[in-house]
A and B are shown apart, each in its own frame.
Chain A
Amino acid sequence: MAGHFIRYEGVHKSFGDKAVLRGVDLAIGRGETVVVLGGSGTGKSVLIKHTIGLHSPDSGRVFVDDVEIQEFDEEQLIETRKKVGMLFQAGALFDSMTVEDNVAYALREHTDRSDEEIRDRVREVLGLVELEDVEDLMPASLSGGMRKRVALARAIALAPRAILYDEPTTGLDPITANAINRLIRNLQKRLGVTSIVVTHDIHSAFTVGDRIAFLYEGRILFDGTVEEARRTTEPRLKNFLEGGGYG
């Protein structure tokens, strides 16, 4: 299975007596983009957080770059977290810091680049998400869509080998959303980044995905190429796609 960068095996996760994940099996190849679809509250965010140890499974295994991580402590997870960037659903920007400090956080923490190199890199990644001259602003003064893009810039600043996108285009206008879709595509094509994209936006899903995985009642009900998803006869996925998601 050396071809996989991220792999979940029989992942179970409950909160209290609420079983959210009930045996998720899913593998994402190196350089591949898999879109995870599913209704609200089905555990998409919970699932991708397992990838970097923000949740640990009650049972089952999680592999990242051939390392089994589910038992790792915070120290041991550092290497995995440097390799895998995450865009949080609501951005999760540090609101006591400027945009620049947010985006530069991992660069300052994990590289010995000079202040100038860091400033350049910050400008570069902000450019990738189509933002400029926002470095000195505080997150509170940004619009929702801008926050999301700053958060994305922060997630890609260290040039991770894999990126987890939790609803990257939700709340963006169609033009910016398309720019983000292109960015996801470009990161994959040019840098071979492996991606998991959680989205409700069916258009985005078909644009950026190589494969579609449909999370339903705690399991992966459907896992196939975008073409297979379009022609699916699986009634619940069909229903979901025809409902247009909620995007």
Chain B
Amino acid sequence: MVVTIRIGASRRPNGAPPDASMGRAGWLFAILQQLGGMVRLSGLTLRHTFKRPFEIDLWVEQLYQLGVRSLTITNVTLLFTGMVLAIQTAYSLAAYGGKSFVGDIVALSVVRELGPVLAALMVAGRVGAGITAELGSMAVTEQVDALRALAANPVRKLVVPRVGALVLTLPLLTILADTIALFGGLLMALFEIGQSRAYYMSHVLGALTITDVVSGVGKTVFFAFFIGVIACYNGINTRGGADGVGKATTNTVVVSSISVIISDFFLTKMFLLVL
């Protein structure tokens, strides 16, 4: 099989990019083509991830860029989410004795759902956009072609370290952000709701099972892969100068955010079935 790269993009017989003149069909064609390209790039990425030699330096660089530098945004987001969730629960469920369940509700909704999804959305915005902008400006200045001309493989050099770093770091970012959210809930339990630390913690730990943690964190492995592939695909296939880079970056944020939300539904069902 011929796997030519227009990185990941399918081999178009006449090289025809879709354009406005194709009307509605062109729009559909463009989406299918993007989807096909992303699937193909996913395959190439998986294949090259486990092939020697491993590009340790590139991985370390990306782990830092994508992981360490996302800590602030995911942690702040989840800290406030935990806090708001605690007070919302306490007040809105007060009539049903909801106050006593604050720990349970914060724990379950954060660990199963909000932690993974919000961390992924923040990372899609920050990291996804960053990857597309970086690779996009490389593509439009022919640096991606230069890499190929030097007989290096852009999938190995550019895509694998980024997708790999995302897949390694998003679960860890999520675990940390979950913990911070539970801490935010604790702050509210102590200072707004008037519970003791021991009471809140016993409800948190009593509600959570290992299954909740596994399904919550497990989803983020998939989210990270989707975000990484979408961002890299859009970056490497960027055309048309600075304007093209802007459009590609926007597309990455939109498409990867939607992918997170939609795949969350299916992944949740899947984990409910298998766990």
Contacts and interface: CB of A to CB of B under 8 A. Distances in A.
B192 interface: no
B16 A92 contact: no
Contact of A58 (B13, B143, B153): B13
A74 B3 contact: yes
A92 B2 contact: no
A88 B146 contact: yes
Interface string B182-222: 00000000000000000000000000000000000000000
Interface in B73-119: none
Q: Name A's interface SS.
A: mixed
A86 B4 contact: no
Interface string B39-63: 0000000000000000000000000
Given A71-B2, A73-B3, A88-B146, A58 B15 contact: yes
Given A14-B14, A15-B15, A90 B2 contact: no
Given A56-B4, A71-B2, A82-B151, A16 B146 contact: no
B149 interface: yes
Nearest to A102: B146
B146 A109 contact: no
Interface residues of B, number: 25
A86 B149 contact: yes
Given A13-B15, A74-B5, A92 B153 contact: no
Interface size class of A (residues with CB under 8 A): 20 to 34
A81 B15 contact: no
Interface string A115-156: 000000000000000000000000000000000000000110
Contacts of A52: 148-149
Interface string B131-163: 000000010011101111111110100000000
B148 A74 contact: yes
Interface string A70-87: 010111011001100110
B23 interface: no
B15 A16 contact: yes
Contacts of A77: 148, 151
Contacts of A93: 143, 146
B12 to A, nearest CB: 9
A106 interface: yes
Given A73-B4, A78-B151, A94 B146 contact: yes
A155 to B, nearest CB: 8
Interface in A32-89: 49, 52-54, 56, 58, 71, 73-75, 77-78, 81-82, 85-86, 88-89
Q: Which of B138, B142, B146, B149 has the largest count of A CB atoms less than 10 A from its CB? A: B149
Contacts, number: 79
A94 B143 contact: yes
A92 B150 contact: no
A88 B142 contact: yes
Contacts of B19: 16
Given A16-B15, A16-B17, A73-B4, A81 B146 contact: no
Given A16-B16, A56-B4, A58-B14, A95 B151 contact: no
B13 A81 contact: no
A61 to B, nearest CB: 15
A105 B146 CA distance: 11
A75 B148 CA distance: 10
A85 B149 CA distance: 7
A17 interface: yes
A231 interface: no
A190 interface: no
B245 to A, nearest CB: 14
B150 A81 contact: yes
Nearest to A155: B149
A17 B13 CA distance: 12
Nearest to B148: A54
B143 A81 contact: no
Q: Which of A13, A16, A53, A74 has the largest count of B CB atoms less than 10 A from its CB? A: A74
Interface string B1-42: 011110000010111110100000000000000000000000
4 smallest beta-carbon distances between A and B, as pairs:
A81-B151, A92-B146, A92-B142, A86-B149
6 contacts: A16-B19, A73-B4, A85-B149, A94-B138, A94-B146, A154-B150
Given A16-B19, A85-B149, 13 more contacts: A13-B15, A14-B16, A16-B16, A52-B148, A74-B3, A74-B5, A75-B153, A89-B142, A90-B142, A93-B143, A94-B146, A95-B141, A109-B151
